[in-house]
Structure 1
């Protein structure tokens, strides 16, 4: 929120035991432990403490009794379940040309969602007006499906297509977002929905989505690369999202790949990877090929639609158009060349390729793989896997929800709201300092 919002100290009571409460809750939420004996074995907490914490969490509506679990010789233990339906999270992923908005439960399951075209360059007021309207529409859908007609909004998460100062939730000089620099996205949405709000770069939310619910689940060191209109990366180290000190870690799209003054990037610099291999670059080069008569397929697209998009280049390549195959292969090699350096430097176990351009076919992915395996250190690629995103278009949306969920259930924040049973109506929770920040 802002400097004028005071964070009240946690109440006494359950907050006194918040570390053990959070431990028990996390074990059940993650599915790591489903019964009291399992919780004891996993956590090291004594039987009495486990019983007390489970009873407290049940009384405050966070856990509930489930069916009987398997018996190990004595009386079968009762399974425990996280009450994921106790509240909802509003999530959104804003891209350059579209917005995806959804409502999830507290386990990150999407209850309803919608994707609509938008132009991020139209400015924050117009775009966020649209997002808020979609949130309201989806909340009405969720309310209509409940017996009481009521839902409790526990938090809001949103990913933006540009650098974001995570501590304040404000965009910072985003190249493709005129009018957004320093805009108080967090404060606006917090006031509108009376809930804590977290804002991040969309590639970070995509990486988090894959980590929590996609192909990176259970992995410790991964690199998520989005190849869309622009290019960016999300870093996961030791099982935690790494944002860097200001929140702009992973901005690989603006790494210099050439000194050619003719290759001007939207950020104002020359020779950026994004200006050579991003979706906008593919569309530009495809349009040139159509106009110069080097691609019959793209020339027909241009004559029919008046323009050429990156998706048209991908379709042309899949149809065997030689020029389009060359454009996609070149883009893949350029991306792979930079990733080879990152793989040798960072040594991830998994590289996930996502984004609209990456999902268009196997040509680009094959070129990325070949270049990385050829140019990286042998030890760095010995067990390295390079795969396509399994969440596809949902990665950023799901990741935005998990960003909120992870922050809400951090022990220090849990201490501030567990006695009241819900973080709804407490947007100031974002200002609670964490001993170990959720990264």
Structure 2
């Protein structure tokens, strides 16, 4: 029988988090977060050896060890003084806790049944002796609705589980949040294959920490899928919540309890998925009115797409971690009642580019575009402020740019496309834009 490589590492997951950090001294509770913090309920544990194996008709053989595998320090059973040895390529694992191991599935099952007490019987490749060795496996906590899902079978399409959260009932930015919500949801429907998209929208009364946590806890993802969370609303960061958090304690700011970003991280990190994204376009400034000499227009573009769109590559064709802030520390993110979030507006524009199939150029372009958009809007608004509140204008004058800040960039693109490369579709992308009255349609 031909040897078949197998990785004994269930639940191997990656994460990506993107945040539009906003600091508004008057509206944001930057020094006084009231977090709604909860951890997913534990329902069981998984025990991992973190090794690559080969299966053959003769049994299970070690091919290599993953970094930091616990099998790098095996302890010879009942030895005095202690004898330490690493599992080596070519070693055969014949038993686990006395249970005969004939294949990779048997090794997984025996490990899961071990309750963390693992004794391996190994036919050693260097000494040719068969001896018992003890090892402390990696312990993974399984939570409600999160089980150790294995990779989907070859040919099964990955699914994007997208959760869009928008504080559309907020008095100051609710209208703008609704604009961006509609733009982003429509873009996902247009640029992600219909049978690979599961879309959930939490707005109006559903936009609250309890509902968000409830939805995050029931996503039926596997480790071949992607999870994408996009939040439109108020936010801030609390230094008192900043320990071991590169975003300095960023949280979603609600009227009652707040939702810490690290709490969202806990839930996403408990989920089997190859890729996770959390985007928060959050600020605490009032939406400004557009001067009378401008009007809003809906622009549309239709094109034929062969294979994966850029957004499918980004959200379904990558794995790893990205941690991005749409506004640098000490800066505001901004909303308009008609155009939505400034950052989200440009996110939609850049994500419509089908040629951007890698995160590196995408992040560069969305950063440049959002800053350029902010600078132009700032100049236009300050030239004709209308009825915009004085304190908002003061913040606008003091902030000359809106720079993105990248906390972490550890991501790689999959070798295979996320959709059939021969798939042909007609895609229509739409966006709103401000144009002078004299511009021709």
Q: Which has the higher helix share?
A: 1
Q: Who wins on radius of gyration, i.e. which is larger?
A: 2
| Same-fold call, TM cutoff 0.5 | no
TM-score scaled by length of structure 1: 0.28
Task: Considering Cα pairs closer than 8 Å and 6+ residues apart, tell me whether 1 or 2 has the greater RCO.
Answer: 2
